[in-house]
Amino acid sequence: MASVGSRQIVGEGTSYRDWASWNGFDTMLRLDVANLIEPGSRAIIVAPHPDDEVLGCGGLMQALAALKRQTLLVAVTDGGGSHPGSKQWPQEKLLENRPTETLDALSRLDIDLPAVHRLGIPDGGVAQGESELIKKLLALIEPGDTVFATWEFDGHPDHEATGRAARRACELTGTRCVQVPVWTWHWARPGDPRVPWQHARRLDLDDKALERKRHAMTAFESQIHPDPSTGAEPILSPDALERLFRPWEIYFV
């Protein structure tokens, strides 16, 4: 998997146990979704790839649905680049299957399906299409919206470009941008000075919400199983999933 600078997404990464034993989560301020997204306002969740919306915001989407807040999911890419050289998952099959996996996953969250807007930017090419992404986001963002996007230093080039584009679009429209760490939990360490912990907010998930998030992730079959045609391990290893199946989600506000 592509990485950026010192933010390397290689090997098994920082273990769930290491993160679970860190007391920094205990002192984080809580994310107040009801006040962040006021009645009549809209949340826009910008996902670089199909699965990022559930990995980063599966609990948030459940909270938004419970509050009856309007939600728009923006799919930046359709995820066609996840399995280079694969006979099991050639690009044309991924382009067909991965958006469908997202819809299946959203249904497993047991919420009313949000509107989904697909941008069709090439997987692996978000940085090259960053100006285009900004323009497309500007056409979607309305006054009062709050935009959630992957953190602009998350370690994956597409995630970082998505975060930068979302932040810039929000600056130009005067709207709020909240960023979401996804691959950060792989390369960072507890208390890592590269991570803006002072801006971190914690959204607690009850047992039912966490179980629905786990169930939703089983829809992404292309990402959670090995590829027999290449011998490649799953894109989302059990370790990667375990790190994101904690009873909370973290947002940089």
pLDDT digits (tens, 9 = 90+) for 91-115: 999 999 999 999 999 999 999 889 9
Within a domain: 247: yes
What pLDDT is recorded for position 113? 86
DSSP 197: G
Only one residue has tokens 């045609």, namely: 229
Containing 148, the helix (H) or strand (E) segment is strand 146-150
Joined together, the tokens standing for residue 188 give 């960072």
Q: Could you give the number of structural domains in the chain? A: 1
Put simply, whether the predicted model's pTM sits higher than 0.85 gets the answer yes
Within a domain: 27: no
Within a domain: 20: no
Joined together, the tokens standing for residue 103 give 């819809």
What pLDDT is recorded for position 6? 81
Percentage of the chain lying above the pLDDT 70 cut: 98
Within a domain: 164: yes
**CATH code at 63?**
3.40.50.10320
pLDDT-derived band at 54 (thresholds 50, 70, 90) equals very high
Q: Could you tell me if residue 79 is left (phi over 0), alpha (psi between -120 and 50 degrees) or otherwise beta?
A: left
At 165, is the secondary structure helix, strand, or coil? Answer: helix
